[in-house]
Amino acid sequence: MLELDLNQHIQAIAYQIPKEGNVFNGDSFFMKVTSDYFICVVADGLGSGEHAYHSSNAISQEVEKNHDKEVDVLIECCNQVLKDKRGATISILKVNFLQKTFTYSSVGNIQFVLSCPSGRFIYPLPILGYLSGKPQKYRCETYSYEEGAKFILHTDGLVIPGIKSLISSACSIEEISDYLESHAKTGKDDLTYIVGQLL
């Protein structure tokens, strides 16, 4: 588990566990915060094991190198680095603290939900498919958020009912992470989640 008490604008916790019996986790993630923005990416390489890891890790490294770019540019850069690799699903979240907005884009089966204190949920639908270096459609959406909003971003290795009620509860992100971690020990698939709160 990686916990980032990032700054006065955001707190986030990331957790990762490989499929039972695997040394390599086919999921990868990257998180970074500056005074102006927070960015994170979660990628799930197709299949599992070393080849899946190389695909997802190429994505996280690409975002790490280019984190200052806009989301629509980043997701195309990530697609390009997957030429001659197995392919991966991806979600990119970039939060603008000054404007109190975030931009999100996803291709594949990685899930994202954000819960605002007012009771509003933001649950963008991903584009079907995966990145593989071939031409791909993307959808980047920008939303406003409220102070205190909490979010979960997770790969399909995490299967949990009632995730909206969990994220909208009064629980802290540490308590939410502990609950998710207790459901993450099945070992049937690689698993990665990021849970955070925008302050």
Which two structure tokens, joined as six digits, stand for 59? Answer: 């994505």
Q: What confidence score (pLDDT) does residue 54 get?
A: 96
pLDDT tens-place values along the chain, 199 residues long: 666 657 899 999 999 988 887 889 999 999 999 999 999 999 999 998 899 999 999 999 999 999 999 999 999 999 999 999 999 999 999 999 999 999 999 999 999 999 999 999 999 988 999 999 999 999 999 999 999 999 999 998 888 888 999 999 999 999 999 999 887 765 678 999 999 999 9
DSSP the chain: -EEEEEETTEEEEEEEEPPTT-SS-SEEEEEEE-SSEEEEEEEEESSSSHHHHHHHHHHHHHHHHTTTS-HHHHHHHHHHHTTTS--EEEEEEEEETTTTEEEEEEESS-EEEEE-TTS-EE-PPPBSS-BSSS-----EEEEE--TT-EEEEE-TT---TTHHHHHTSS--HHHHHHHHHHT----SS-EEEEEEEE-
Q: What confidence score (pLDDT) does residue 186 get?
A: 59
Q: What confidence score (pLDDT) does residue 1 get?
A: 60
Say what the pTM is.
0.95
Q: Report whether 160 contacts 180 (CB < 8 A).
A: yes
What's the CA gap between 165 and 173, in Å, rounded? 13
Dihedral of CA atoms 94, 96, 102, 106 in degrees, nearest 10, equals: -10
Strand pairing report for 121-122 and 191-198: unpaired
Helices 71-81 & 50-65, crossing angle to 10 degrees? 140
Which two structure tokens, joined as six digits, stand for 114? Answer: 């954000």
List the domains of the chain with CATH numbers: 2-198 (3.60.40.10)
Q: What confidence score (pLDDT) does residue 167 get?
A: 95
Indicate the burial class of 122 (C-beta count within 10 angstroms; 0-12, 13-18, 19 or more): middle
What are the angstrom distances between the C-alpha of 167 and each of 51, 56, 114, 164, 171? 33, 26, 8, 5, 8
Q: What confidence score (pLDDT) does residue 21 get?
A: 79
What Rg, from alpha-carbon coordinates, does the chain have?
Answer: 16
